[in-house]
Amino acid sequence: MKVLINTTYGGFGVSQKVKDELGDNYSDEMDRFDPRLIAAVEKVGLNHASDGCSSLKIVEIPDDIEWYIADYDGCETIHENHRIWF
């Protein structure tokens, strides 16, 4: 599974290019693993996908685990009980 995270201090946010790519499908409440969001970010490229306060990264994690996004001052990592992906 692909998940979109922010890798710098500040906060998660996508660029206007990503929003334009999604059109009416865009919502601030989209899941970070939503295939439409991932596809839009991949299409515009990670260098153009982040807003002014974020640095986005797509992380692949196994499908068969329960995970959550942990955040420290906006810098995020994906956690599962004993493993961390960043």
Taking the domains of the chain in order of start, what are their residue ranges? 2-85
Over residues 45-60, the mean pLDDT reads 95
Q: Which two tokens stand for residue 18?
A: 């990503």
Q: What's the confidence (pLDDT) of residue 82?
A: 76
* Tokens describing residue 14: 């996508």
Closest CA to 14 of 66, 83, 84, 43: 43
Six token digits for residue 53: 């306060």
Asked whether residue 37 carries a pLDDT value surpassing 70, the answer given is: yes
Mean pLDDT, residues 6-20 taken together: 95
83 pLDDT exceeds 70? no
**Average pLDDT score over residue span 50-61:** 95
Tell whether pTM > 0.85.
yes
